[in-house]
Structure 1
Amino acid sequence: MDVVRIISTVIYILIVLFILRQILPVKGLKNLSSDDLKQRIKENKNLVLIDVRRPAEYRQGHIPNAVNFPLSQLRRHVKEIPRDKEILIYCRNGMRSRHAGRILKGKGFSNIAQLRGGIVWWEGKMEKIS
Structure 2
Amino acid sequence: MDIVRIISTVIYILIVLFILRQILPVKGLKNLSSDDLKEKIKKDKNLVLIDVRKPAEYSQGHIQNAINIPLPQLRRRVKEIPRDKEILIYCRNGMRSRQAGRILKGKGFSNIAQLRGGLLWWEGKMEKTL
TM-score range for the pair, normalised by the shorter chain length: over 0.9
Aligned length: 130
- TM-score, reference length from structure 2: 0.99
Asked if 1:17 corresponds to 2:17, the answer is yes
AA matched with 1:26: V
Report the Cα offset of residue 46 of structure 1.
1.7
Aligned equivalent of 1:38: 38
- What is the distance in 2 between the residues matched to 1:15 and 1:129? 38
Report the Cα offset of residue 77 of structure 1.
1.3
Aligned equivalent of 1:97: 97
Divergent runs of 4+, >4 A: none
Per mean C-alpha deviation after superposition, the further-off stretch among 61-70 and 38-47 is 38-47
Asked if 1:108 corresponds to 2:105, the answer is no
Report the Cα offset of residue 76 of structure 1.
1.6
Matches within 5 A, 1:51-130: 51-130=51-130
- What is the distance in 2 between the residues matched to 1:111 and 1:33? 17
In structure 2, runs of 5+ residues without a counterpart are none
In structure 1, runs of 5+ residues without a counterpart are none
- What is the distance in 2 between the residues matched to 1:91 and 1:33? 14
- What is the distance in 2 between the residues matched to 1:65 and 1:104? 20
Matched residue SS, 1:74: helix
AA matched with 1:95: M
- What is the distance in 2 between the residues matched to 1:105 and 1:87? 11
- What is the distance in 2 between the residues matched to 1:35 and 1:77? 29
Report the Cα offset of residue 122 of structure 1.
0.5
